[in-house]
Amino acid sequence: MSASFYVSALIEILHYVSDDLLHCDSGTTIAELFNDEFDDLDFELALTCLEATHRVAFKEAFWKTPLEEHEELTLEELIEKYLDQREQKDPLFVTKRFMFFEGSLSAALREEYEGPPPPDEY
């Protein structure tokens, strides 16, 4: 498949995950996606959905690099640079990807609920 196929699929997934609040195209940078209604966890969910839907994987180098270092990439550049388009044959591929996402979700929830205590209201 061509990179444009995966870019189009990612855009559809981003629209769905954001409840159609995001308006983006292939030239949208990663940084432009984020707002009050869409954060890095939503973005990771969209990427995981793309991987699972098409049985393709983002290269390990992408996942090991802080997202901030990718913010200037357009969606098209992201796909061209980091998506390994080979079909994943591991029968546990989808499970592993969503377990990876579950780890990110758990960390985000811990951070949210274990943050600093609210100030005293006395």
Q: Is residue 118 part of a domain?
A: no
Confidence of residue 6 (pLDDT cuts 50, 70, 90): very high
The per-residue pLDDT for range 49-105, each reduced to its tens digit, is 999 999 999 999 999 999 999 999 999 999 999 999 999 999 999 998 888 888 888
Please provide the average confidence, as pLDDT, over all residues in the chain.
90
Assess if residue 34 is contained within a domain. yes
Determine, yes or no, domain membership for 121. no
In a domain, 119, yes or no: no
pLDDT of residue 117: 59
Q: Which domain holds residue 89?
A: 3-107
Residue 121 has a pLDDT of: 57
Residue 102's pLDDT is: 86
Nearest CA-CA partner of 70 in 57, 59, 56, 85: 59
Strands 57-58 and 83-84: antiparallel
- The reply to whether 115 falls in a domain is no
In a domain, 122, yes or no: no
pLDDT attached to residue 64: 92
pLDDT at position 115 over 70: no
Of 25, 33, 45, the residue nearest 105 (C-alpha):
45
**Is residue 96, in this structure, part of any structural domain at all?**
yes
Sign for the pseudo-dihedral over CA of 34, 37, 40, 45: negative
pLDDT at 62: 94
Domain tally, the chain: 1
69/107: higher pLDDT: 69
Are 27 and 8 in contact by the 8 Å Cβ rule? The answer is no
Q: Where are the alpha helices (DSSP H) in the chain?
A: 3-17, 30-33, 40-54, 60-64, 75-82, 93-113
18 belongs to a structural domain: yes
Neighbouring C-beta atoms of residue 83, cutoff 10 Å: 21
The pLDDT score that the predictor gives to residue 9 is 97
pLDDT at 120 over 70: no
User: Which amino acid would we find at residue 49?
Assistant: C
For position 14, what pLDDT does the model report?
97
Cβ-Cβ contacts under 8 Å for 2 (sequence gap 6 or more): none
